[in-house]
């Protein structure tokens, strides 16, 4: 039986690509979706579609109401910025930053991995497009890996947890190119911060704009924008 891994699967473009990379590398996939009180439960449906398309061994959805804490446009009623150019996106830590989000996500993935006897965790963190998010940087990933090996029974007993962030240095266009080469169906994914009532992407938030531009660079239309 191939080794198993936990992969954090939001239903977005990056996590779908990350899961496909883990599969390519021979891992059996245990997908974990964390519903964190974000506005768009549409992401969970996307995660379920992506999990099914990748033939995961198991998919767990865990509910966690981070909106109880507030502090982000993704959990609160703060306006999601629209129509920003690259310079504006890069200028500061955006209001869509969710405090300690990837720390919480990786902690849950670690709990899941240890409960299942797994040692590899995949996360779609990306330091290029989200340069403003502190918990998308390589030093964060490295620090979390160190923590995992101090925090757990397996770590203390001498086994090693590995946190894989295979997209961390890739520009979005390269992520899409990689995913397409691995057969990812991006029509199943959802990345928009502010979808309409039917779950259709707004095309104007940072997340939509970045992925639309990436597909355009490859001479394609974003398949998530096709009317379906």
Q: Considering the rule CB under 8 A, would residue 93 count as an interface residue with its own copies? A: yes
Phi, psi of 205, deg, nearest 5: -75, 165
**Cβ–Cβ < 8 Å for 145, 161:** yes
Of 20-28, 49-57, 136-144, 212-220, the segment contacting its own copies by CB under 8 A is 136-144
- Residue in the block written with tokens 């397409």: 180
Nearer to its own copies, 101 or 190 (CB): 101
CB burial readout 194-218, b (16+ within 10 A) else e: bbeeeeebebbbbbbbbbbebbeee
CB of 161 vs its own copies, minimal distance in Å: 10
Binding mask 72-91 for its own copies (x = CB under 8 A): x-------------------
Separation in Å, CA 89 to CA 41, 85, 128, 137: 25, 6, 11, 16
Q: Considering the rule CB under 8 A, would residue 8 count as an interface residue with its own copies? A: no
Under rule CB under 8 A, which residues in 50-69 are in contact with its own copies? 60, 62-66, 68-69
Nearer to its own copies, 93 or 218 (CB): 93
Under rule CB under 8 A, which residues in 137-176 are in contact with its own copies? 137, 139-140, 143-144, 146-148, 150-153, 155-156
Nearer to its own copies, 98 or 178 (CB): 98
Q: Considering the rule CB under 8 A, would residue 23 count as an interface residue with its own copies? A: no
CB of 81 vs its own copies, minimal distance in Å: 16
Q: Considering the rule CB under 8 A, would residue 110 count as an interface residue with its own copies? A: yes
Provide the CB-side half-sphere exposure for 208 (13 A, CA): 18
Q: Which of 57, 104, 202, 225 binds its own copies (CB under 8 A)?
A: 104
CA distance 32 to 64: 13
Q: Considering the rule CB under 8 A, would residue 28 count as an interface residue with its own copies? A: no
Sorted by sequence, the CB contacts under 8 Å of residue 17 that are 6+ apart come out as 124, 167, 175, 176, 178, 179, 182, 184
* Residues near its own copies, by CB under 8 A: 60, 62-66, 68-72, 93, 97-104, 106-108, 110-112, 114-116, 134-135, 137, 139-140, 143-144, 146-148, 150-153, 155-156
């Amino acid at each position: 039986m191939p080794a198993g891994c936990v992969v954090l699967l939001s239903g977005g473009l990056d996590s779908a690509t990350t899961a496909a990379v883990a599969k390519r590398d021979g891992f059996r996939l245990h997908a974990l979706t964390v519903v964190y009180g974000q506005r768009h439960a549409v992401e969970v449906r996307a995660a379920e579609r992506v999990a099914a398309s990748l033939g995961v061994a198991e998919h767990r959805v865990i509910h966690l109401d981070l909106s109880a804490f507030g502090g982000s446009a993704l959990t609160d009623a703060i306006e999601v910025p629209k129509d920003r150019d690259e310079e504006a996106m890069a200028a500061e830590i955006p209001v869509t930053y969710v405090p300690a989000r990837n720390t919480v996500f990786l902690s849950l993935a670690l709990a899941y991995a240890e409960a299942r006897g797994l040692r590899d965790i995949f996360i779609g963190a990306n330091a290029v497009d989200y340069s403003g998010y502190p918990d998308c940087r390589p030093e964060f990933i490295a620090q979390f890996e160190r923590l995992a090996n101090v925090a757990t029974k397996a770590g203390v007993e001498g086994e090693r947890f590995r946190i894989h962030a295979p997209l961390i240095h890739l520009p979005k266009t390269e992520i899409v190119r990689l995913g397409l080469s691995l057969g990812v169906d991006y029509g199943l994914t959802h990345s928009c911060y502010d979808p309409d009532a039917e779950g259709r992407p707004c095309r104007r938030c940072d997340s939509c704009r970045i992925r639309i531009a990436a597909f355009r660079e490859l001479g394609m239309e974003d398949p998530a924008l096709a009317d379906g």
